[in-house]
Amino acid sequence: MRVAVVGATGMVGRKMLQVMEERSFPVDVLLPVGQSTVGQFVEFNGTKVEVMSMERALEAAPDVALFSAGGSTSTEWAPRFAAKGTTVIDNSSAWRMDKDKKLVVPEVNGEVLELSDRIIANPNCSTIQMVVALKPLYDRYGIRRLIISTYQSVSGTGKAAVEQMEDERAGREGKKVYPYMIDKNCIPHCDVFLPNGYTKEEMKLVNETRKILGDDKLSVTATAVRVPVDGGHSESVNVEFNEEFDMEEVRSLLSHAPGVTLVDEVAENRYPMPLYGKDTDDVYVGRLRRDESQGKTLNMWIVSDNLRKGAATNAIQIAEYLIEKHLLKPRKV
């Protein structure tokens, strides 16, 4: 199996390498790809591997290419890899809302994948963790409306944002990624603002959730906030169901849902937090309670590591699903 990692020296790219090691993903030939980092080295399974150019990786005709190098790179290069017969799993927003491309979270809608899929979109980090938690409830009760507030780690912006927060905490001057100080602050501004007053991040939660769940009628509204945490996104989600629900059944459904860990013992001060979720792959759910202001409505709190399940791990899980279903096999070149 020849595996290319495009953006191998970035935060998500390095996390992809780590996750592949941990999960013993079948890599016979690793093709780490960079743009400004060609000639540098990454370490994989105890071996240093030189970062190569996009052209060289394309010539190698990888079986699968994991892209995490931004939308413009994916728009230009993913179709060229796909034309070579490579299965591309793309972590940017370039293909997510393309009607001809699948947007996949394996625990939620892996069954939509087919042998003909050559470019597969990895959803936004905040969307991934939410739909993993919502899927068993959606299947049982149906969902009419979601009201979402996110509390998103600076790592979701990238390495420079983490460095800004660290500089501010240490009292150092440094490059500013955000328009304001992020340490000791919350910024209600994730990605750019759109003409409707929402940010791109907020509209990703709207549009991607509908596409993944296959429900264009689902009402979704969101507010996305950047908080001074260096790993892990948190979400407060208000869920209005189509049918009345039973709280014990909700707990049971979540307890048995793939990829979900229920942490909801408030009498013992046990609830999901980024401190627990960092460097793990599960989606943690807690603070379950009825919305006492209206019927058929549940409040829930969802936490996950945005670099792992929200990006790298989900991409690897897509590849694993393809292998399991015999939709991805090493090719002769």
Q: How far is CA 295 from CA 125, 144, 243, 257, 299, in A?
A: 30, 12, 9, 24, 12
Going by their DSSP bridges, the two strands 41-44 and 64-67 should be labelled as unpaired
Look up 125 and say whether it is catalytic.
yes
Look up 190 and say whether it is catalytic.
no
Which residues lie below 8 Å from residue 164, measured CB to CB, with a gap of 6+? 154, 174, 175, 176, 177, 178, 182
Distance CA 60, CA 252 (A): 48
Q: Exactly one of 125, 189, 190, 326 is catalytic; which is it? A: 125
Matching residue, tokens 């790219």: 13
List, edge to edge, every strand of the sheet that includes 219-226: 219-226, 143-152, 233-241, 297-304, 283-290, 260-262
Q: Exactly one of 186, 190, 233, 326 is catalytic; which is it? A: 233
260-292 burial: b if 16+ Cβ within 10 Å, else e: bbbbbeeeeeebbbbebbbeebbbbbbebeeee
Residues forming the active site: 125, 233
